[in-house]
Amino acid sequence: MAKNKFHDGPGPSQRQLRVGELIRRTLSDVLMRGDVHDPDLNRLSVTVGEVRTSPDLKVATAYVLPLGGKGRDDVIELLARNKGELRRIIGKKLALKFAPELRFRLDETFDQLDETRRLFAQDAVRRDIED
């Protein structure tokens, strides 16, 4: 397979970032409006923090978190149960050549941020930073 002459860096390409952001916005809108025919999923408020796509744009991994952080496992299960319908809706709204396969993971960036804040609040760390 030929190498992409426009992107040979270690990170995602501009196209991957652009398509990932389009999918994130569309997925957020669909979940916010309750366009999915699942009352259990429509009851929940879900934050879509990020969507990462594979280099060939065939797989999109959405990092999600329920509002308030409660029911994390339930959200992943409900989204996985409805991924076919979500894929169809996203493919229709974005008019992509291929609607990507959707995967859902918990967004743990907020937990990492809290842990980082906790570490910086420690006296020993604060003393090292201030010196």
pLDDT digits (tens, 9 = 90+) for 26-57: 999 999 999 999 999 888 889 999 999 999 99
- Exposure string over 60-81, b if 16+ CB within 10 A, otherwise e: bbbbbbbeeeeeeeebbebbee
- Residue 50 is classified by DSSP as E
pLDDT digits (tens, 9 = 90+) for 1-33: 445 555 556 788 899 999 999 999 999 999 999
Residue 87 in this model has a pLDDT that exceeds 90: yes
Rounded to two decimals, what is the model's pTM?
Answer: 0.76
Q: Does 114 or 3 have the greater pLDDT score?
A: 114
